[in-house]
Each structure stands twice: as structure tokens, then as C-alpha cells.
Amino acid sequence: MILGVSIYEILTVSTLVFFIGVYGFVTRKNLIAMLMSVELILNSAALNFVVINKYLFPGNLEGAIFSIFIIAVAAAETALALAIIINLYRRVMSLNTDELETMKY
């Protein structure tokens, strides 16, 4: 645990980052920018796992390993989503969510 820092302060930071990500996900209109907000949300969730592991169950490893899995899943998700976005840009020539009305071809 971090010396002199309580669990409440770290959970406050992760909560703020989570809701900043939610705000970005709702307000952004570009697909890549929306995906970046999802990264913020995933990171705050991973920080929650790590903090609760460290402060409430030290000696266990579940939170840290789950965070590693979260990072791996986020990498897979990002690669796949960016592939889909590039493919979509080839068809529609735009990434604006208002102009992406059809996913079929």
C-alpha cells in the first residue's frame, strides 16, 4: 500500500476517470475518439482491481492477475476495433457517427 494514502483517495481517482470516460463516450462523434474513452474506462476498472487487492487482500494475487487479463483483452479489443474502423473508412470515407448509417454492404 502507498504510505499515507487511504483506499478512499485512490478509489476517488478511479471513479473520476471512469466518469470522464463516460462523458467522452457520450459526447464524442468520432469512432476513434470514442474508443479512446473506452480505454479510460477500462483503465479505471483495472486500477480498482489492483487497489482492492492491495489494500483489502494483500498477499493474494487475484486483482493483479485480473488486471493483466484486462490489459490483454483491451489490446485484443483495440486491434480488432481499429481494423473494423479502417475497413469502415474504406467504404464510407468518414468516421463520423452521424454518417455511419449502414453497416451492411
Partner 1 sequence: MERIIFYILSIIIVVFAGLSVVNRNIMRSIIYLLFVLLAFAGLYFMMEFNFLGAVQMTVYAGGIIVLYINSIMLVERINSPLDVAKLWRRILAGVISVAGAIMALFAIWSYDFTEVGDESSITIQDVGKSVLNYGEHGYILPFEVISMLLLAAMVGAIVIAKTKKRNAN
Cβ atoms of 48 and 66 within 8 Å: the answer is no
> Quick check: 50 binds partner 1 (CB under 8 A)?
yes
Q: How far apart are CA 59 and CA 72, in angstroms?
A: 23
Cβ atoms of 45 and 18 within 8 Å: the answer is yes
> Quick check: 38 binds partner 1 (CB under 8 A)?
no
Cβ distance to partner 1 smaller for residue 90 or 104: 90
> Quick check: 9 binds partner 1 (CB under 8 A)?
yes
Q: How far is CA 16 from CA 50, 60, 79, in A?
A: 16, 27, 26
> Quick check: 77 binds partner 1 (CB under 8 A)?
yes
20, 38, 45, 100: which one binds partner 1 (CB under 8 A): 20
- Closest distance of CB 22 from partner 1, Å: 5
> Quick check: 28 binds partner 1 (CB under 8 A)?
yes
